[in-house]
Structure 1
Amino acid sequence: MKTILTFCMVLILGTFSLIAQDNLQDLQLTNTDTIPDFQTKAEKLKISGTIYESDGITPAKDVILYIEQADENGDFELRKKNDEKYVYHHGLIKTNADGKYTFYTFIPGNDRRYNQLKQIFPTVKVPEQKQQILPSFLFESDPMLTRKCLKRMAKKDDLTRILKPKKQDGMLVVQKDIVLQEQIAITK
């Protein structure tokens, strides 16, 4: 129950407090970030990709991508800064002119007590638009990703969220491209 409550707090407090801020575009972000504790983790993971506009062709420039995840035991480590709670294992990038991004992270654990899959939770913020909470990234090697679960995802045409990392130079590497949903610009 603790993990489920923590997860709910993560979604409510963590993502919204970091991503919903209007001044995010002013941050000096690059298109590469490293999740805290990356160097100490056994299953290091490099996620790279391109974020595309809703047409699926045009690279999306200056899009902020935020990810957060559990540690290798499936627990969300919460920290506090300026009276705001956040998930310790998180990262934040801004795509370059080609829409490219890279995160250095690790494979999160799952909490078998509550049947939680290994997941990374992404959110994007496009200039002049509302944030978009994307479906979580899952892992093909996760033993909790059952055939039944895969069947349900296939019916929803949702299999692209499953990451299939390959070992390369001592690290797991995966390509994850993202196509933005079409939105109406925010008027001020």
Structure 2
Amino acid sequence: MKNLLTFFCAAFLMGVVYSQNGQDTVSEDYKNRSPIYDYTEATLSSVDTIPGYAGQAEKLKITGTIYQSDGVTPAKDVILFIYQPNEDGEYDNRKQNDKKYVYHRAWVKTDANGNYTFYTFVPGASYAANAFPRRRGLKHIHPIVMAPGEEAYKLDAFVFSDDPLMTNRCKKKLNKQEFQGMLNLEQEGGLFVAHRDLVLNSHQADL
């Protein structure tokens, strides 16, 4: 079992954190550009809710502050986009205007104090990348960030500290790499809450 958990950690480091990055340049073409651009400006606020949230058993609130690269100054008007698997660990892929997209997604734009909040749910474990035979890996959520006047880039995947596959050894490896995506869940009423602050340009997921 120990070796299997070590394998999952390695697969995660090679897969979810790093190789889930499909676009290293911004395309003007609607079909090929990053999904962070597929929003309506008028609907952006510092709070957004993932589709299907109301019917989920493990509701999750992710909230925090985005800071400028100095780690002190709140970053306002930053767009943060997330997408994730469903509760079964599968990506619900759909199509709009001939472009495929992941159904469980949301956008926020930080307020004057750099604050943001997502209402989503704890996803199921999807299949680990580069794993043969196919095995379920760590539960995760994919974030993409874009500051005003700058290009969008992908952050480390949000993962869960209480995931059975998140061993202490795995956590140590992630800490050494200045991993920013660890979520520590707390129970508040009928939902889980995770506080996740982010610092711009401090650590980008490898492309």
- 1:14 to 1:90, Cα distance in 2 relative to 1, 3 A: farther
* Aligned residues of 1:51 and 1:95 also touching (Cα < 8 A): yes
> Which of 169, 175, 194 lines up with 1:148 in the alignment?
169
Match runs of 1:8-157 below 5 Å: 11=22, 16-20=33-37, 26-111=41-126, 113-157=134-178
* Aligned residues of 1:164 and 1:174 also touching (Cα < 8 A): yes
Q: How does the TM-score come out when normalised to structure 2? A: 0.75
What is the aligned residue count?
A: 173
For residue 104 of structure 1, give the secondary structure of its aligned residue in structure 2. strand
* Aligned residues of 1:10 and 1:86 also touching (Cα < 8 A): no
What CA RMSD, in Å, does the superposition of the two structures yield over aligned residues? 2.5
Shift of 1:127: 1.3
Shift of 1:170: 1.3
Where do 5+ consecutive residues of structure 1 fail to align?
183-188
* Aligned residues of 1:10 and 1:87 also touching (Cα < 8 A): no
* Aligned residues of 1:117 and 1:145 also touching (Cα < 8 A): yes
Query: Partners in 2 of 1:115 and 1:169 — Cα distance?
Result: 30
Q: How does the TM-score come out when normalised to structure 1? A: 0.82
Query: Partners in 2 of 1:96 and 1:119 — Cα distance?
Result: 25
Identical positions, percent: 43
Measured against aligned partners, the alpha-carbon deviations of 1:112-153 in whole angstroms (never above 9, x if no partner) come to: 643421001100011111112100010011112123322321
- 1:179 to 1:15, Cα distance in 2 relative to 1, 3 A: farther
Where do 5+ consecutive residues of structure 2 fail to align?
1-14, 24-29, 128-133, 203-207
Higher helix share goes to which structure?
1
Shift of 1:25: 8.4
For residue 145 of structure 2, give the secondary structure of its aligned residue in structure 1. strand
